[in-house]
Structures are given as structure tokens and as C-alpha cells.
Structure 1
């Protein structure tokens, strides 16, 4: 049975989270109503996962994460407010070492969705924590068919018109580091599907732009794709591109969810395959589930360069693993190696 600590100054939220998790029969749950009590619990007991609210007395959630990180390697889930300011604090929490975040329910009708997300994310965090406690088995050592960054690969990359990235759990800190490491004159446009809700993607784009000093924005419908600009898919909408008269344009689409996701990396990759054929680069990165695997397979079948993040550097190896198993991936690389390839273009 997995051990979970719930840290929240709201008695309602403590009881709600505790009840949801205990009803599964998978989790043993302890609670703490203040950060100080939480730190005492963490020093005395070993937890697989700790859920943390942001607004609490004595110290906020980000400060608590940093304190916990000094004494424990438990996976941490942030319980986030569904607001623009809440988005900014969530990104701070992820940068401080949180595994993922869950949106706090605002209305009674949102509790069922909160329950489903909570169980899914706490379960995933527990599984990932368990892996860190055992000897690592590098899947890429078995499956990998690494292709060196050879001249022929660079020449193929140089004719690319666009880079597409599909990413989920663990994504924000990885994208921050990658985009900071891109050379100043990097000229390809990059389109990113990062699984996030509405209100979060605009804040995420603003944060990335401020940290990297690059052209990074939340994508709008029917805007011309500009060289060197990075477009973040809008939460609650799909992002695609289309080609008209030799130019590429974004499409922001209000369609049904794909594999429970909106935005969906499959939609983005499929549109890139249609618009650019072999002249594109597709990248599937850290995240739960299988989003992106079908779309990036379409890209590979058209001759595009397709890349997956390696297991060792992933927070969750779900999305890359499924794409690899489908035969959709040509290169398996760390984020640093991906940036190295892009900077050679």
C-alpha cells in the first residue's frame, strides 16, 4: 500500500483528498494542516507522495517544497487554483521540484473530474517513486537504436520548416531549459502541445518568454508562423498548422478531446505531416499516456525526423515509450542532445 501525506489548511480539502484516496484501497493517507506539521511528519515517516496546497500559514507551497526536498525524495503534487495567478505559482512549484499539479475543484460538479485526476496522478507519482527506490532498468538500452548527429541528419534537419513538440507531465521545467539553451539565431518555428488547462497556457508562454528572452506566445488562430517563434497550444483547444500559398498558418480548433486530451499532440503532429511532409521534426517528450504516438507515426511515414526523449531524463516515460513501441521514432535522445541537434541547424 502506498503512503501519502496530504498538506492543506482547509479541513474540507484534507478530508476530500483523504477520502478519495482511501476509498481506492491503494493508499494509506496521513494529513497535516500546516507546513510545520508537514515537515515534522516528513522527518518521522517515509511517504511515496505528498500533496501540497499553495496558500497556507507560515510558508507557501513553493517554500514548503524546497524544505521537503532537503529531507525527502517523495514525489510532490501541487494542488493548484484554477486562475492566472495560480498558474504562475504552479510553474514555480514545478521548477522547485514538484512532480505534477492537480486543479482544485471550484464547484460541486467538478469533484468527479477532480477525483479521477487525483487518483490517476497520485498513482502515477507512486509508480515513479517506486522506480527510484529500485535499481534502474534503462529501457533505452534495450530498445534504443541511437543515430549519431551525423552530417546526413543535420542536412535533413536543415530543410525542416517546423518543429513540433508533444509533452505532458514534467514538461514545463524541461521546456524552460531547452528553450534557454537554443541559440539566439535559431530560425525554425516551434509548435508545442503541453497538456495544460485553460488559464495556464498563456501564463506558461509569458513565463517562458520572460525567462528565455525569445519570441514565445500562446497560439492564436490563423496567424502566420514566423521563423524562430515558439507557439504554445491554447488550453482547451487543439493546435494544428496548415499550408497556404507556400506559407504556414496556425489553426486553433475547438474539437472533441483526443485520448482524453485537448490540446492533443496527435492533432498537431498529424497536421505537420500533412502540411510539411518530410520537411519537419517531431519530438515526443515526458508525459503519461499515449498522446502523440499516432501523429508522430504519420510524420515518420512521410519521412520527417522523429525523436523521443530517453527514459532516464523523463519524469514519466509513458508518451515516448508508446511512440517507440509503435515504431514511430528514429532517434531517442536526452533534452540536451535534442537541443544539440537543433542548434546545428
Structure 2
């Protein structure tokens, strides 16, 4: 299946202009990854490789000179600058303006792009890595009432990620009061083998995130590569007929957006080893929803670009090794329960 890679960033000074641009860009078949004002733009997003085009509409004013120069210097993606004249929808010039924008979008960034190659994974190495220890629940959680569904933690990983995710999951006890979604950049044909390898030594239940599968405490659902997923009111997975946005499947940004929209402050994320910047945009939505974001420490990664990008975007609350993250998660769950009580 081909992956849609049609993500556009919009920068405009007012909510009205932002809305007008979003409407016409979405009509052309593009996904809006960022839509913000110059003052609120997270500058690190200008280097996000999943955004293929920036649409910038600023009033002609000297106050934007420095900002425009910074955009030109920081992003390698094409930039479509508006002419400062957006007609109203009932204006006779609107159809001509909309057509011109659509033509420019198609010229700068054609709508469909071939999916990028997924990183290669040594599954044999995962199978031969036995567990040497396992953490226990803190005393405050051992006798506490267990919620039907605890916080949702999305594990985002790419190159070097499976080793880190396995090390993290292997240390967690089976009765951990949290549910997990594991999103790994991988070829779809390797997904079953990944599930078996990751689940070989952990006490958690690691299963494919099939259509209808349920999120549950102590369960790790491995996110499908070729199908976007959403969620039912009773925490079931709904496969969509379309693929993920972005160059890789599953898209961490897209998944985190869906999780944050459905679960709000119960949404959390860990960005593990990987190339690129997938996850940094979605992590910002998790933070805006009241969730927590961690990333793997640079020195413990095979490739630290992905967790570093999330950190550079200002969305990461804490960084550590997979082993440190497993220990911290149990403490976090105890503190989270106390705070929610």
C-alpha cells in the first residue's frame, strides 16, 4: 500500500486567515500538520522532514522581515508565500484564487509520494536477549483498586527501537495498571515476527493491534503498518480503510494525534531510538492534552535523531535509558494514582 505523504504546515497571523488557508489546502487533498501564527510557531518544526510544504501568508510589513528570513534559513522544504490578498468565499475572485493555490500546491508538492523504506530489524538478536530481572509494582499500587483501564502509553520507535522497547517491556510486571500501543517503523510483512520477538520474554501480553482488539492494562497492542487506527468508546481498535499520513507506517505523529483526541490527559508517549523526527508533532498534541512525554536518552540510542527532535521541540518532560524508563513508569503510575485520588 502506498502511504500518503501530503503534510502541509500553515503560518498566518490571524485565526481567520489560518481557517481560510486550512480550508483550501485540505480541499486539495493535503493534511494540515501545523496551523499557527508566527508568534506561536515552534521553530523546531521547520526542520521536521514529514512536512513537505509550508504555506505562509503574512501582511506586508517590516515586522515579519526577520521571521521570513529565519524560515528561509531553517527549512529545506518548499515555501508557498501568499500575496496578502485572500478574497471572501462569496467574492467573484475566490474560485480563481482557490484554483491558483491548488495549482501551486500540486506544483510544489504532488499529492502522493511513495512510502519511505522501513528500517531493517535484526529479530534474531531480540529473541536471544533473555530477561535478567523484572521490577515489582510499588507497594502503594499492589493493594490499590485497579482501574478498568489505566493511562495509555504510546511507544514510538524506528531504527534501533525494537531493542530498546523490548528492554523496557521486559522489566515491567504483568499487573502494571497501564495500557500500551507500540508503533514501530517496519515492513508490514515483518510485523508478526516482531510481535513474537518482543513478546518472547516479557510478562505482558504482546499482540497484534487487529481490528476489534481491546486496549487493556498489562497489554501491548502492536499498531498496524498499513491502516490508520481509531478507538471505540469501550477502548476497542477500529481499522480505517486508509493508510497513515507521513512517509512511514505507522506514522507516530498521526497515531499520537488520534490517541490525544480520544483519550485526552490519559494519553502519554515515549519516543525511542530512530531516525528523523516522526513523533515530535504528535508529542506536542499529547502535551497540549495534558499528557506526559518521555524520550530515550541520546547515549542509549542506536540512532537518537527521533528522540532528540522531540526534545528539541520542547515536548519532552524527561529522558532516560529503557531500564530507567521502566523503573520511572512504575513510580509515575503510583504518583499518578495518588494525584488522581
Q: CA deviation at 1:309?
A: 1.0
Aligned residues: 199
Distance verdict in 2 for CA 1:174–1:305, change over 3 Å: same
Distance verdict in 2 for CA 1:291–1:273, change over 3 Å: same
Judge conservation of contact 1:278–1:303 (CA < 8 Å) in 2. Answer: yes
Distance verdict in 2 for CA 1:269–1:257, change over 3 Å: closer
1:242 aligns with 2:274: no
Where does residue 179 of structure 1 map in the other structure?
A: 169
**Secondary structure of the corresponding residue to residue 248 of structure 1:** coil
Of 158, 172, 188, the match for 2:178: 188
The structure with the largest helix share of the pair is 1
Judge conservation of contact 2:173–2:204 (CA < 8 Å) in 1. Answer: no
What do residues 16-73 of structure 1 show as CA deviations (whole Å, max 9, x unaligned)? xxxxxxxxxxxxxxxxxxxxxxxxxxxxxxxxxxxxxxxxxxxxxxxxxxxxxxxxxx
Of 152, 156, 162, the match for 1:162: 152
Where does residue 298 of structure 1 map in the other structure?
A: 285
1:92 aligns with 2:124: yes
Q: Distance in 2 between matches of 1:227 and 1:264?
A: 24
**TM-score after normalising by structure 1:** 0.52
Judge conservation of contact 1:308–1:329 (CA < 8 Å) in 2. Answer: yes
Of 219, 229, 240, the match for 1:229: 219
1:285 aligns with 2:272: yes
Of 240, 248, 254, the match for 1:261: 248
1:338 aligns with 2:339: no
1:220 aligns with 2:252: no
Gaps of 5+ in 2: 1-119, 130-139, 141-146, 334-341
Q: Distance in 1 between matches of 2:277 and 2:314?
A: 13
Gaps of 5+ in 1: 1-86, 98-150, 152-157
Of 311, 316, 322, the match for 2:298: 311
Where does residue 72 of structure 2 map in the other structure?
A: none
List structure 1 runs of 4+ shifted beyond 4 angstroms.
93-97
Distance verdict in 2 for CA 1:259–1:282, change over 3 Å: same
Q: CA deviation at 1:223?
A: 2.4
Q: Distance in 1 between matches of 2:206 and 2:273?
A: 20
**TM-score after normalising by structure 2:** 0.53
Q: Distance in 1 between matches of 2:321 and 2:125?
A: 23
Judge conservation of contact 2:153–2:179 (CA < 8 Å) in 1. Answer: yes
**Quick check: which has more Rg, 1 or 2?**
2
Judge conservation of contact 2:160–2:301 (CA < 8 Å) in 1. Answer: yes
